[in-house]
Structure 1
Amino acid sequence: MASVIIRFGLLANILSVFQVTHALTLNVSTTGGNASSPILYGLLFEDVYHSGDGGLYAELVQNRAFQGTTINLDSNNHVEGPFQNLDYWHSSGPEVTLTLDNQQPSLSDALPYHMRVDVASGSGSDNNNTGFWNEGFWGMNITTATRYAANFYLRGDYEGDIVCAFWSNTTNSMLGNTTFTGISQTDSDGWKLYQQTFTPFASGPDEKNTFHLTFDGTAVAGSNLRFNMISVFQQTWKNGNNGLRMDLAEAMNDIGGKYLRMPGGNNLEGQSSPYRWKWNETIGSIIDRPGFPGTWGYYNTNGLGLLEMMQWCIDMGLETILGVWGGYYLDHEVVAEADLQPYIDDVLNELEFLLGPENSTYGSLRASLGYPDPFTIKYVEIGNEDFFDSSNSYINYRFSMFSDAIKAAYPDMIIISSIWSGYFTDPVLPNGTVQDLHDYFSASDMVSKFNGYDNADRNYPVLVGEYAAIYDDEHTNPNQLDNPTLQSATSEAVYILGLERNSDLVVGFSHGALIKSLHDEPDNVAMMKHSPTEIVLSMSYYVAKLFATNYGSQTVPVTADTGYGPLYWSVMKNESETYFVKIVNYDGVDSTPVMVNIPGKSNEAKLITLTAPDMYSSNLPGNTTSIWTETTNKKLRGGKIVGARNDW
């Protein structure tokens, strides 16, 4: 089983790349075909299984502002508070007590709680043992290769130094520290921000590292200090402010995607009222972001907010597909038609914030936050997976009310529906409305969808906002995969070929699981999984990268002397007449050649193959078994056979 891309320059004659049951000849036309979507290959992001907080968002401290961590639901799946707590914080020394407190003045309206650190009377002056420490998100990545920025807000009567340090739990030794000197303040001074950047003098041997903050115990004995927004950022990708974890961002950029669908997903909708993703609570200073109880079992800081995601799009050259809340919560609560207008107004305010001139109400707010020029957004999706709304409110009024208001303000905006047009009877989707479909299948079902869009209504373009092969075919379904295998990833490759062949209809597609934490969700497929010190790039990641980095601007007709299976194929070309012949071998055997003919072209090509030892091979922490080979400027002559190993 393997995925293969044959990339032809100004061209090629005859090439054999596979082991299959029957000989196959592909005759590639040099004329005809359809223009392909320029954003065909994309990315989906929502904060799911610590893909944002504790993942792509480069903050190392967990529960940095005591907003809370675990989310509880009642018997009706409604979110239960309160949320604030001191999870992941620990005192240093027997004479130190940590207490969650809301004594005024608060740091901000968004962050009413803080941590009070009491030191018993008669406490000693051991700076290394008077204070507190944080576990991080299952540890921290501490290395001498990057800088770190430590920040905290302090309120209290204190004169002296405060030391921030990283420690290894494995070696019980300090890895690096920075000292805040000359601190002098009283309670009447209120909250003060302290921030410094430093580089550790030693790297942690593993991820079992913690962050400690210590002070002069004798100066505080019998009293207390109050702390809030205790933050440590590892150096970010492109040195972005409040930005992205470097290794995850780099791996994501390497995929070669052309759009970012954000901010999700189920996390956009929210579990229950009033807890949903609210754009205006994700902008500005991080002390003004209250966060909200996310839909995946933990509290979201919204540190990775709307502007951070827009900067992400800029830095990676991605088109933005903006999801807006459509009046529906995951517990099936729906906003009534008579009550919907304020939420429509909120979407229009968000769009003005992103697209409005600098002198508009919300455009000026954007400018005050460092973005005087409007962004460019062509696509807005209303809601997410609204086919779960059994009341049919999306069909009856929600979609049209949001869509009409957006189009009135932005006539050229491309509107995306979160349900397929086949659900609509009266009213119908306006022609040209993009419909977002989510395809989660077993490996064999994924392959069966190869021609699923061949006869789709061309009046309704398709965004496959989420796809993934999540079940194997060896066991009785449902048997969800822990990680993508060669079998499941190759089935996704077959599916993608079908989307490429219909890329005049398909606007774009993105894998349904971009990033997940190895600690939070180890038993669930994802393109990338991470720990504090490691990322695992799955078979699905390499398939997506292989396809996204080898694409053309139009489809190319192909005729063959046999039908599809076990080989599947598609051909694209770009403006410079480079042809991309993509072939997937799904469950193939034997060793009979495949011939590719492109009339009138030269005998030179680049061959790329992706394979693995067997159908159940899977990339795991510390063990990458996928095999990606590239052969540049392959000289071909009529009848020459180039073999590609196939193991099943």
Structure 2
Amino acid sequence: MKSLAVLAAAAAPLASALSLSVASTGGNATITTNQYGLLFEEIYNSGDGGLYGELIRNRAFQGGNINGVATLDRTTDYWTAVNGVTLAIDTSTPAVSTSLPYQMRMDVPTDTTDAVGFYNEGFWGFNIDSTKRYITSFYLRGTYHGVVNCYFQDALTGDQLSTVSLEVSQTAGQGWVQHMSATFMPTTTLAYPNVTFYFMFEDGASLAGESLYFNMLSVFKQTYDNRNNGLREDMATALAELGAKWIRLPGGSNMEGPYPPYYWKWNATIGSLLNRPGRPGVWGDINTDGFGILEQLQMTIDLGLEVVLAVWDGLYINDSIISEADIDPYVDQALNLLEFLLGDTSTTYGALRKSLGYSNPFTISYVEIGNEDNISNGESSYKAYRYMAFYTAIRALYPDLPLVSTINPAPSGLTGIDGTIDLHIYENEATFVNLFNTFDQASRKYPVFVGEYAAIRTGSHTSGQVGVQTFGMACAEAIFLLGCERNADVIIGTAYGALFKEYNEEPGTVAVMKHTANEILYSMSYYVQQLFGANVGTQTLPVTATGAGFGPVYWSAVLNADGQTVLKMVNYAGTTNPVTVTIEGSTATSATLYVMSAPSSASVNNLSGLGGTTSNITTSTLTGTAGTFSVPFTSGYQIVVLVV
């Protein structure tokens, strides 16, 4: 777990209004390893400008953002001319590829004598670390013989922070030529991201009156596990430290696409970056698709995550729906994706996967047909033909691959593993507390992924959202997770929505983590999931309560893989009375106690300059007698995990 302070403590037995007796056997469920998972979708620069390691913004002129809406209008946004040149979008031929037909043209004045060029703003700046390697590259069309100096510059002081020089010698007749630097390291580390990145042509006089053309301009910082075209290192490390077991990808509403024909097409996200056209995203930005399906699957391997793969099923966010008469090609596309990921190399798409560097098939644990088909006017067509069109075709070729429905119950009376459903729950804090026992009454015919959940409002408020979770909201989510754990016979796993959002892009809604160019905000919810994920069980255990029932203290008990009893408790607006806990059949005199706390229920975690992290998780040794312990609560809002 991240940042656990190890303490030594001993609590003397005290009288308690609530006593819990935890049995050693007799629980209602064997728990899967998938209890805590992740959702990745491209939302508010969670991929481009976030988890995906590319640092240049608008690197290939694939589109932009106008008033919060993704647009295919091509601009030179985030690029600034230096020393009198003019920058413009250009469509002259030849293009660098058929997928990237727009490029940036630099027109140089006829009286130029100095170095000329331009700089990029990045995604709200750049993270400069003198201990890390960087690399830059670009495609150039035109005539230039000379040096191109590429470097970071402090936008506040004007100081040049790095230097790397590329010797360029090419003519216009050569067409597009890629130029790539050696790796370089900045001269200093900055605590702030107010930095730009320059491409400067030193022999400006030779370019006087001429034009040069640019595409796919790139800067990568050292990536997680040093992967080519890989992940931002600190963000991937944060995922690894979260301790989740599975991930649903590629999303999410963004997979559906904002309007025809811009749904997520897997085969437009593979191979050379020059062959990835990108598309308008649902959440306001262009997707470059640099973080494509293979990059996402490589991430799951590097992080040890099982995969819940979503396939597009004919529904767009704007309510457009593929008709029954036209659905077959989209079913075929889903089958092609599965062959690409699962097929041996003798198959058409298995061979394609091998040609891209992956000889061995991937492992897919579940396939989800669509996303949120209960909204966007999608439910009737999902029930009538869309779900079964995909289900029947996939099941015929992959009889053992579990399939997931996005509506409840699954269409056409499917039950058991074939009736698995994905529920998404976004509610206020009070509702999450009340959801504690919601699955006690759930039908056991339909296994459930809670594929997205989040407390998005404090208290019982019914409108608006908060920008960052309070500790009270995180406690409410923890109570809901206890209810899921108690019903592990029907709940396969849970995942918070969303995983990442860029702090500047979307400060007003929640995420597990918010990121800037150089910092990560770990929410209260992050630490709840980390604490619970580090204390998963293999079997639920019955708990008998005396003196009080559920509320204000809520609980769940499991047996872990080491044979230890794990009792999780949440005190929600309660007293500080201790709880007497007896582990039946145990003679233990010591236990490990994890306590998550915060100054108040209204406390939030924030960026370091805005208050920083206020939550705290401590680890202590609790003494007891013959398997009986007095578990202290020191505030009205607290999350406790006792391991005996």
TM-score by length of 1: 0.93
Partner Cα separation in structure 1 for residue 83 and residue 602 of structure 2: 50
**Per-residue Cα deviation, 1:144-170 (whole angstroms, up to 9, x for no partner):** 021111010111111111111100011
Residue 88 of structure 2 corresponds to residue 99 of structure 1: yes
Does 2:611 match 1:626? no
Look up the match of 2:345.
Answer: 358
1:470 counterpart (450, 453, 456): 456
Equivalent residue, structure 1, for 2:364: 377
Do residues 66 (structure 1) and 61 (structure 2) align?
yes
The answer to whether the 8 Å contact 2:149/2:199 transfers is yes
> What is the one-letter code of the residue matched to 1:274?
P
Task: Please list, as runs of the form range in 1=range in 2, the aligned pairs for 1:550-565 lying within 5 A after superposition.
Answer: 550-561=535-546, 562-565=548-551
Worse-superposed segment, 409-418 or 384-393: 384-393
**Contact 2:424/2:451 (<8 A) preserved:** yes
- How has the CA–CA distance of structure 1 residues 16 and 41 changed in structure 2, closer, same or farther, with 3 Å as cutoff? farther
**Could you report, residue by residue, the CA deviation over 1:249-279 in whole angstroms, capped at 9, with x for unpaired residues?**
1111111100010111110000100011110
The equivalent residue for 2:302 is 315
Q: Which has the higher contact order (CA 8 A, sep 6+)?
A: 1
Q: Distance in 1 between matches of 2:232 and 2:70?
A: 31
Distance 1:239 1:18, change over 3 A: farther
Partner secondary structure for residue 374 of structure 1: coil
| C-alpha contact (below 8 Å) 1:148/1:198 kept by paired residues | yes
Tell me the amino acid that sits aligned with residue 493 of structure 2. Answer: G
Alignment gaps of 5+ in structure 1: 6-13, 74-78
Q: Distance in 2 between matches of 1:110 and 1:18?
A: 71
**Which of 186, 196, 199 is the equivalent residue of 1:213?**
199
- Identity fraction in percent: 45
Within a 5 Å distance, the mapping from 1:227-246 to structure 2 comes to 227-246=214-233
**Hey, what's the Cα distance between the residues in 2 that align with 1:431 and 1:235?**
45
- C-alpha distance in 1, partners of 2:193/2:122? 10
Out of 534, 543, 550, the residue aligned to residue 519 of structure 2 is 534
CA distance in 1, matches of 2:581, 2:341: 51
Q: CA deviation at 1:337?
A: 0.3
Q: Which residue of 1 aligns with 2:23?
A: 29
C-alpha distance in structure 2 between counterparts of 1:341 and 1:480, whole Å = 40
Matched, 1:435 2:421: yes
Alignment of 1:136 with 2:122, yes or no, is: yes
Find the partner of 1:414 among 375, 386, 402: 402
Q: Give the whole-Å Cα distance in 1 for the aligned partners of 2:521 and 2:387.
A: 39
Question: Match for residue 405 of structure 1?
Answer: 393
Aligned to 2:594: 608
Residue 269 of structure 1 pairs with residue 256 of structure 2 = yes
Cα separation, 1, equivalents of 2:551 and 2:395? 44
- Residue in structure 1 matched with residue 46 of structure 2 by the alignment: 51
Partner SS for 2:591: strand
For residues 369 and 346 of structure 1, the distance between their equivalents in structure 2, rounded to whole angstroms, comes to 19
**Equivalences for 1:472-551 in 2 at 5 Å?**
472-473=458-459, 476-551=461-536
Return 388-397 or 262-271, whichever deviates more: 388-397
- Asked whether the equivalents of residues 103 and 214 of structure 2 are also in contact (C-alpha less than 8 Å), the reply is yes
Name which of 619, 624, 636 aligns with 1:636: 624
> Structure 1 residue 204: deviation in Å?
2.9
**Aligned partners of 2:249 and 2:309 also within 8 Å:** yes
CA displacement at 1:576 relative to structure 2: 2.7
What CA deviation, in whole Å up to 9, does each residue of 1:458-480 have, x standing for no partner?
12100000001111117x42142
Distance in 1, matches of 2:12 and 2:552, equals 15
Task: Give me the whole-angstrom Cα distance separating, in 2, the residues matched to 1:294 and 1:545.
Answer: 30
- The match for 1:225 is 212
Q: Could you tell me whether the CA contact under 8 Å between 1:237 and 1:244 is conserved in 2?
A: yes
Contact map agreement 2:64 2:71 (CA 8 A) in 1: no
- Residue 293 of structure 1 corresponds to 280
1:359 deviates by: 1.6
Alignment of 1:45-194 (within 5 A): 45-70=40-65, 82-94=72-84, 96-124=85-113, 126-127=114-115, 130-181=116-167, 183-194=168-179
- Per the TM alignment, residue 431 of structure 1 is displaced from its structure 2 partner at its CA by 3.6
- 1:514 positional shift: 0.9
Residue-by-residue CA offset, 1:79-104 (whole Å, 9 max, x unaligned): 8854321111110012x111111111
Q: Secondary structure at the match of 1:569?
A: strand
**Could you tell me which amino acid in structure 2 is paired with residue 137 of structure 1?**
F
Label 1:83 to 1:430 Cα distance change in 2 as closer, same or farther (>3 A).
farther
Measured in 2, the distance between the counterparts of 1:210 and 1:136 equals 7
Does the residue aligned with 2:439 lie in a helix, a strand or coil?
coil
Check conservation: 1:500, 1:570, Cα contact below 8 A: yes
Q: Secondary structure at the match of 2:438?
A: coil
Whole-Å Cα distance in 2 between the matches of residues 275 and 506 of structure 1?
A: 33
Deviation at 1:18, TM superposition (A): 11
Cα distance in 2, alignment partners of residues 188 and 634 from structure 1: 77
Deviations 1:207-226 (A, max 9, x none): 10000000121111111111
**Structure 1: distance between partners of 2:348 and 2:276:** 20
Asked whether the equivalents of residues 151 and 198 of structure 2 are also in contact (C-alpha less than 8 Å), the reply is yes
Given that 2:70 and 2:284 are in contact with CA atoms closer than 8 Å, whether structure 1 keeps it comes out as no
C-alpha contact 1:486 1:539 (8 A) present in aligned 2:
yes
TM-score normalized by the length of structure 2? 0.93
- How far apart, CA to CA, are the structure 1 residues paired with 2:54 and 2:597? 36
Taking the aligned partners of 1:643 and 1:575, their CA distance within structure 2 comes to 26
Aligned equivalents of 1:214 and 1:547: distance in 2?
Answer: 51
Write the distance in 1 (CA, Å) between the matches of 2:138 and 2:480. Answer: 49
Q: Residue 604 of structure 1: CA displacement?
A: 2.2
Rounded to whole Å, the distance in 2 between the matches of 1:18 and 1:100 is 74
Go from structure 1 to structure 2 and tell me whether the alpha carbon gap of 1:642 and 1:346 turns closer, same or farther (over 3 Å shift).
Answer: closer
Q: What is the identity, as a one-letter code, of the residue corresponding to 2:455? A: A
Shift of residue 552, structure 1, vs aligned partner: 1.1
Instruction: Give the Cα–Cα distance (whole angstroms) in 2 for the partners of residues 508 and 18 of structure 1.
Output: 37
Among 443, 448, 453, the residue aligned to 2:434: 448
- What SS is found at the alignment partner of 2:186? coil
Structure 2 residues without counterparts, runs of 5 or longer: 5-9, 638-644
2:579 equivalent to 1:599: no
How far has the Cα of 1:642 moved from its partner? Answer: 5.1
Q: Classify 1:641/1:27 alpha carbon distance in 2 versus 1 (closer, same or farther; 3 Å).
A: closer
CA contact (8 A) 2:591 2:622 kept: yes
Q: Distance in 2 between matches of 1:18 and 1:250?
A: 42
Residues 301-356 of structure 1: per-residue CA shift (max 9 Å, x gap): 01111001100100111000001001000110110001000000000000000000
Say whether the 8 Å CA contact 1:72–1:81 is kept in structure 2: no
Q: Distance in 2 between matches of 1:496 and 1:557?
A: 17
User: Which residue of 297, 302, 305 maps to 2:292?
Assistant: 305
Shift of 1:526: 1.2
1:149 partner SS: strand
* Contact 1:472 1:479 (8 Å CA) reproduced: no
Q: Partner of 1:10 in structure 2?
A: none
Shift of 1:640: 6.2
For residue 327 of structure 1, the aligned residue among 311, 314, 331 is: 314
How big is the shift at 1:592?
Answer: 4.2
Cα distance in structure 1, aligned partners of 2:282 and 2:187: 39
